[in-house]
Chains A and B, each alone.
Chain A
């Protein structure tokens, strides 16, 4: 499974877009990129995943570079409730485990 690299922390103003980067240069062609987040004292929450194409759902957008070595999670209008640790994960087709790493602590400020 691909290992990922994320900045340890980021700040974002409430109402603005939060762009969280992730490097996954060792990702292979059949490995998906997943994003989860963890709000204090809760289990990780699924946000979005993708393989090659950009993806969007009601929570976020995922932009994957053409070479698939990096991606960006976009929260279009961050709220205080989006303050959490965000994890970028790589996983192959037959994966049976995630490598979470340390994630990015997103602080949304009023």
Chain B
């Protein structure tokens, strides 16, 4: 597609529920990132994929968070047993290849509200 697509756009989950957030990167993009953005804050890094390999997951806040990109294209961020502090916008970004000098394209995000 023309841009990075994320779905759903909004998600309301009951506390304790599992959720799955989807990211469709730009076709052919090698690098894929997930960021978490709390209200009024800048985005914070969660995890990074190069093709299907998860090269950095240092930003995942707990073992309830899991991300995958099995075929090197679509990625899913899964949050188990959601808590209120998980409420945030989850942003996905992709770029054609790794390395600096390359701009990243972000999706519009999924706004997760845990009630």
Contact = CB atoms under 8 A, between A and B. Distances in A.
B103 to A, nearest CB: 4
Interface centre among A41, A87, A97, A102 (most CB of B within 10 A): A97
Interface centre among A49, A87, A98, A99 (most CB of B within 10 A): A98
B44 A100 contact: yes
Contacts of B108: 41-43
B43 A102 contact: no
Contacts of A91: 100
Interface string A30-54: 1110100000011111100101000
B100 A32 contact: yes
B37 to A, nearest CB: 8
B41 interface: yes
Contacts of A51: 101
Given A46-B105, A49-B101, A96 B48 contact: yes
A96 B91 contact: no
A94 B31 CA distance: 12
* Interface footprint category on B: 20 to 34
B106 A44 contact: yes
Nearest to A99: B45
Interface residues of A, number: 27
A103 B42 contact: yes
Contact of A43 (B41, B42, B59, B107): B107
Nearest to B58: A97
A46 B103 contact: yes
B57 to A, nearest CB: 11
Closest 6 CB pairs of A and B: A43-B106, A100-B42, A97-B45, A46-B103, A96-B48, A93-B100
Interface of A: 30-32, 34, 41-46, 49, 51, 85, 87, 91-103
Interface of B: 4, 31, 33, 35, 41-45, 48, 55-56, 59, 91, 93, 98-101, 103-109
